[in-house]
Amino acid sequence: MNIKLVESIVQMIQTLSAEEQQMLVQQLNTLLTTTDEKPDEKPVEQAASSTDSDAWDVFLSLGSEAQPGHLQDAAVNHDRYLYSQPS
């Protein structure tokens, strides 16, 4: 897996408007359902449940309300910030 590519895509998604994000979600869902099908099988239509939509909404909102600058060198000190015991 190309982690840098995935991270770049996530950053790009956060710059899209809500309408563009929803359009991207629909396109990705269509792409993923067509690539998962086997050639001999008939496509199974799945109605998008509200749970799926809610999950995408939560995923797409990640980072939109983040407050930058609270952790010094977050990438370098990642493990220390996550796993250290509070004083």
Sign of the dihedral defined by the CA atoms of residues 70, 6, 9, 20, in that order: negative
Contacts of residue 13, defined as CB under 8 A and 6 or more positions apart, other chains included, come to 21, 24, 60
Q: Where are the domains of the chain?
A: 1-39+46-65
DSSP summary character for residue 45: P
> Do residues 74 and 64 touch, judged by C-beta distance below 8 A?
no
Which tokens go with 1? Answer: 């897996």
Encode pLDDT of 30-76 as tens digits.
888 876 555 555 555 555 566 788 888 888 887 777 666 667 777 78
Its pTM stands at 0.36
